Structure formats: C-alpha cells, structure tokens
Amino acid sequence: MAAYVSPPPADGKRHPAIIWIFGGFDNSIGEIAWQKGPAANDQSAIVFREAGILMMYPSLRGGNRNPGFTESFCGEVDDVLAAADYLSKLDYVDTNRIYLGGHSTGGTLAMLVAESTNRFRSVFCFGPVTTVIGYGTDQLTFDTSNRKELELRAPVKWLEKIHDSTFVFEGTGQPSNISSLRALSRATRNPKLHFLPVEGATHFTILRPISRLIAQKILRDDGSESNIVFDEKDLAGVMRQ
C-alpha cells in the first residue's frame, strides 16, 4: 500500500521514527502530508520532520488505490502493524525508537493499535473516542447492529491490553472529544496509560504545540527504555508560546 517515508539522512546513522495516522474516513493521504496548516489547525504533523525525526505516513486499505476496502478501524489495525514492519527494516531507522501517533479518527486507530501490540516505544493519541459508533453510522462500513463488531472497534473495551506507554491528549475547549478522554480515564487503572487534558486548547489548536513538545521529548528519549513523561507545566508552557 502507498505511504510517504522520510528518505535516509546522509550521516549513516540510525534515527528515531514516528508513524502518523491522519484523521478522516477514506484511508487516503493527500496534500496534508506536505502542506503545513495554520497554527490553529495544523494536521500535517510536519513539526516532527522539522525536528529531525523520520516519518512514515501510511495510507490504509481501500485508500489511494490500495487493495481492499475500508473496514472502519478493524483491518486497518493490521495495516498500521504492516507499516511498522516495513519501517523497522530500513537501515537508517532505530528499531528501538519507533513511535506511533494520530489525530481524531487517527488517534482512535492509534489507540486500537496500541491495544493490539507492544512493538512501539510510545504511542501518542490526540482526541480519540471511547467507541467508534460515536462517529455516526453514516461514516462506518460495518454492521453497527452487531455487538461484536462494535466491541472490536471500541478502545474503551481493551485498555488493559496496552503494554507500551500511551499518552492521550485532548483540548478542554470546544470543539473537543474531552468527554471521551475523561471516560477512557475512568475506565482503567493501567499504569501505561496517561490521560492529558490540555487547558486552553481545542481538538485542533492542540496539535502543533503539543506535537512540537512530543518531538522534543522523542529526541531526548535515547536510553534503553523510554523516559518520556509529561506534566501540566510542560503542556501549559507550550500552549502559551
């Protein structure tokens, strides 16, 4: 399937990399991957590349003339894992420092992936939902009357399966999925999950400043185990910049 991947740096070294999942429902990638958006809604994730982190933007089944068809957060989990397999085989990628992130529906998918594997060093989810039925039945391609199909796509059902440090961000201002963040937080005591409401941000204004903060943390996360943590001072500081 189609993907955009950073080319090898000319230094012969291995570098950290992040797979980024965009929001939306068509499983495709267009100009959003290379056109920086306005500060109030920059969904491009370009700040990771600007910081010197390798990036992979994978499209998913049924998108960008890929084989298959959209499965609304089910088979797409396998697609992200396949993207990680591909990325890990590149000789300029540090295989111990592969991260995953996503926004909105991409954040929901990233959380479902985190619940399915322990292969990522850390996972960063912006604005996921508790269960995909919240997006509305007109956006979904499966039988929403089938309880099993719904449960398979409900991040709230599988929170205890997460083994990698997973950070969930959302702005407290509207528009926002802050109610989902709070519901997810109440549903688990898994110490690998960290729920981070961001005051003064919305579902969109949160993206550029918090992504820039994550990028800084990734660049310093060079030990044998991840040392990434966030606190309220970190979050408030970048939102004031």
The span from the CA of 173 to the CA of 170, in Å, is 9
- On whether the pTM is more than 0.85, the answer is yes
pLDDT of residue 112: 98
pLDDT of residue 225: 93
Tell me the pLDDT tens digit for each residue of 37-56: 999 999 999 999 999 999 99
Distance (Å, rounded) from C-alpha 197 to C-alpha 194?
10
CB 51 within 8 A of CB 215: yes
For residue 58, what pLDDT band results from cuts at 50, 70 and 90?
Answer: very high
* DSSP conformation letters of 185-219: HHT---TTEEEEEETT--TTTTHHHHHHHHHHHHH
Query: At 29, is the secondary structure helix, strand, or coil?
Result: coil
pLDDT at 84 over 90: yes
What pLDDT digit, counting tens, does each position of 168-197 carry? Answer: 999 999 999 999 999 999 999 999 999 999
**Cα 173 from chain centroid (whole Å):** 20
- What domains are there in the chain, each with its CATH number? 13-240 (3.40.50.1820)
Interval 218-234: pLDDT, tens: 999 999 999 999 998 99
Instruction: Give the pairing type, strands 3-5 and 54-58.
Output: antiparallel
Q: Tell whether the model's pLDDT for residue 68 goes beyond 80.
A: yes
As a whole number, the mean pLDDT across the chain is 96
Q: What is the pLDDT of residues 140-164, one digit of tens each?
A: 999 999 999 999 999 999 999 999 9
Q: How far is CA 24 from the centre of its chain?
A: 13
| Cβ contact 73:108 at 8 Å | yes
The DSSP call for residue 24 is S
Give me the residue label for tokens 């591909």. Answer: 86
The two structure tokens encoding residue 213: 């903060």
